[in-house]
């Protein structure tokens, strides 16, 4: 075994034991962020975060076959039927919600009901496509800026496109893939700056499709570089390349990854915004690190240049190793999250220096990929 992988197996067991304990303690169905160490807040079943907890459990079940994880994940997925049936609260984050739950259950257990759920979710997402602007609208309401929600799109959308690519394959229906690619091309044009930094929010005229305004969103300002937004771009464009083999998407993933890597702190963990004023108290965001690391591992699998393959894999391993060594809570019974030092929304002072369920999810996803390398 290569020396740089020697820590992985024990780290995976640390994660498994931690989640065993947490899953027995936690009674809320859909955790999001911790308060004083506890995942005490839950969400309505249409919230964007609801897929991450059952998705995390599926990742662990896939390798450990621990039945209680499977049972909890199945139960949470059933609760999520409410938004699918009522429709009106559905938004663009259905990939986060049903990609990690229903598609995963279908892949592992061949559950046809889960397949149908994911196909319905993909259809909902496709219905949000603005034909003039060639983009997917984000939310039904907008509480974070002055943008008209009818013309608003955000970088997080890139992580939701895989459910469209998957639906296209399942149904032999290219319309899903064409919508996803049209949106990805718009993101590439309007969200990715020349230097590889990433905008969070773009408002389009919902009738003409022309760009109206850029917003900082959860970043420091409209010209800043919110690190989790960068991680969505890195990982999302890599996924688009995986499904389409279109070189421009891999180039975008690499461009945004190179910017991200260049701006990392010494311990490989980013601050919440790469262009925010920094001092010793400036928050980090381990969720951005986890998502980016998993995306970098995907990039390393997709490229053929051996030197670059090694480069992106090494950075990803260093990031995950740093998260494991410096930010994990395995032995802290007062912390239910796996990772500390997440930052949900610094401009609004929400969820700063806490555990975030999506940070936990992408850390487990990245570690699962490293475990696969041990086989």
Separation CA 126–CA 245 (nearest Å): 21
The SS3 assignment for 354 reads strand
Share of residues in the chain with pLDDT > 70 (%): 99
Give the model's confidence band at 143: pLDDT under 50 very low, under 70 low, under 90 confident, else very high. confident
Give the model's confidence band at 5: pLDDT under 50 very low, under 70 low, under 90 confident, else very high. confident
> What CATH number is given for 3-374 in this structure?
1.50.10.10
Strands (DSSP E) contained in the chain are 129-130, 135-136, 152-154, 201-204, 211-215, 342-345, 350-354
Residues paired with 203 in a beta bridge: 152, 213
pLDDT of residue 261: 98
Give the model's confidence band at 98: pLDDT under 50 very low, under 70 low, under 90 confident, else very high. very high
pLDDT tens-digit map of 285-312: 999 999 999 999 999 999 999 999 999 9
Average pLDDT score over the chain: 97
Structure tokens belonging to residue 309: 């393959």
Separation CA 210–CA 194 (nearest Å): 20
Share of residues in the chain with pLDDT > 90 (%): 95
Note whether 24 and 30 are within 8 A (CB): no
159: pLDDT strictly greater than 70: yes
Residues paired with 339 in a beta bridge: 328
Instruction: Annotate 39-100 with DSSP letters as a single string.
Output: ------TTSTTTTHHHHHHHHHHHHH--HHHHHHHHHHHHHTHHHHHH-TT--TTHIIIIII
Separation CA 354–CA 179 (nearest Å): 36
Note whether 161 and 155 are within 8 A (CB): no
Give the model's confidence band at 355: pLDDT under 50 very low, under 70 low, under 90 confident, else very high. very high
Residue 355 CA: distances (Å) to CA of 149, 172, 197, 359: 29, 40, 25, 7
Separation CA 210–CA 77 (nearest Å): 38
The SS3 assignment for 133 reads coil
pLDDT of residue 113: 98
Angle between helix 162-171 and 174-190 (nearest 10): 160
Q: Pseudo-torsion of CA 302, 160, 371, 343, nearest 10°?
A: 120
Residues ≥6 apart with Cβ < 8 Å to 146: none
Mean pLDDT of 254-260: 98
Residue 3 CA: distances (Å) to CA of 28, 86, 92, 329: 40, 52, 42, 24
pLDDT tens-digit map of 17-57: 999 999 999 989 999 999 999 998 878 999 999 999 999 99
Give the model's confidence band at 375: pLDDT under 50 very low, under 70 low, under 90 confident, else very high. confident
What's this model's pTM, rounded to 2 decimal places? 0.98
1: pLDDT strictly greater than 60: no
Separation CA 54–CA 77 (nearest Å): 7
Higher pLDDT, 253 or 43: 253
Domain positions in the chain are 3-374
Structure tokens belonging to residue 164: 């469209």
């Amino acid at each position: 075994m290569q020396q740089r992988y020697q820590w992985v197996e024990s780290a995976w067991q640390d994660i498994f034991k931690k989640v065993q304990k947490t899953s027995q303690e936690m009674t809320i169905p859909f955790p999001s962020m911790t308060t004083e160490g506890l995942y005490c807040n839950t969400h309505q079943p249409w919230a964007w975060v609801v897929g991450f907890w059952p998705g995390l459990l599926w990742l662990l079940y896939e390798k450990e076959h621990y039945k209680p994880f499977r049972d909890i994940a199945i139960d949470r997925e059933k609760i999520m039927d409410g938004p699918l049936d009522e429709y009106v609260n559905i938004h663009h984050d259905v990939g986060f919600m049903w990609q990690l739950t229903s598609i995963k259950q279908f892949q592992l257990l061949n559950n046809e009901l889960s397949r149908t759920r994911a196909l319905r979710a993909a259809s909902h997402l496709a219905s949000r496509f603005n034909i003039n602007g060639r983009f997917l609208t984000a939310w039904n309401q907008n509480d974070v800026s002055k943008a008209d929600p009818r013309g608003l799109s955000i970088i997080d959308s890139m992580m939701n496109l895989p459910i469209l690519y998957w639906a296209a394959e399942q149904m032999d229906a290219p319309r899903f893939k064409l919508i996803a690619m049209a949106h990805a091309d718009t993101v590439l044009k309007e969200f990715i700056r020349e230097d590889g930094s990433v905008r969070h929010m773009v408002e389009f005229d919902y009738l003409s499709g022309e760009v109206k305004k850029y917003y900082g969103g959860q970043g420091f300002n409209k010209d800043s570089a919110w690190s989790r937004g960068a991680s969505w771009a890195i990982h999302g464009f890599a996924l688009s390349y995986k499904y389409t083999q279109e070189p421009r998407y891999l180039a975008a993933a690499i461009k945004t990854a190179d910017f991200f890597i260049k701006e990392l702190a010494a311990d490989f963990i980013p601050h919440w915004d790469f262009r925010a004023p920094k001092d010793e108290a400036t928050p980090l965001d381990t969720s951005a690190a986890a998502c980016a690391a998993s995306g970098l591992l995907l990039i390393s699998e997709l490229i053929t240049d051996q030197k670059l393959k090694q480069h992106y894999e090494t950075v990803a391993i260093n990031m995950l190793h740093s998260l494991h060594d410096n930010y994990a809570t395995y032995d802290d019974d007062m912390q239910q999250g796996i990772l500390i030092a997440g930052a949900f929304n610094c401009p609004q002072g929400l969820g700063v220096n806490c555990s975030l369920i999506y940070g936990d999810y992408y850390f487990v996803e990245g570690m699962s990929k490293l475990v696969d390398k041990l086989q």
